[in-house]
Amino acid sequence: MVWQGRLDAALQRCSSRPLGQLEPEVLTALRIGAAQMLVLGIPAHAAVSTSTSCTAGKASRGYVNAVLRALARTGEDQDAPPWTRLSHPESLYRRWESRYGEEGAASLMSWDNEVPPVGAYSSPEDGSGGGGRFLAGYRPLERSGQLASEGLPAGAYIQDEAAAVVAEGAASLPGRIVLEVGAAPGGKTAHLDRKAFLVASLEISRERLSPWLENSARLGWSSSVPVVGDGASLPFGKCDKIVLDAPCTSTGVLRRRPDARWRWSPQRLVQCVLLQRRLLAEAARTIRPGGILVYSVCSLEPEEGRDQAVQFEADFPSFRRIDYPAPAVLVRDGMVDIFPPEHEIDGHFAVAWIQEI
Tell whether the torsion through CA atoms of 205, 208, 211 and 215 is positive or negative: negative
272: annotated active-site residue:
no
CA distance 263 to 304: 16
The residues with which 296 forms a beta bridge, in sequence order, are: 245, 350
CA distance 113 to 45: 26
Active-site residue, from 14, 248, 272, 298: 298
- Parallel, antiparallel, or unpaired: how do β-strands 349-355 and 287-297 relate? antiparallel
In this structure, the number of other CB atoms found within 10 A of the CB of residue 43 comes to 11
Q: Phi, psi at residue 68, to the nearest 5°?
A: -70, -35
CA distance 136 to 91: 39
Residue 98 CB contacts under 8 Å (≥ 6 apart), including other chains:
none
- Parallel, antiparallel, or unpaired: how do β-strands 319-322 and 287-297 relate? unpaired
CA distances 44 to 27, 38, 40, 89, 261, Å, are 18, 9, 11, 27, 28
Tell me which residues are annotated as active site: 298
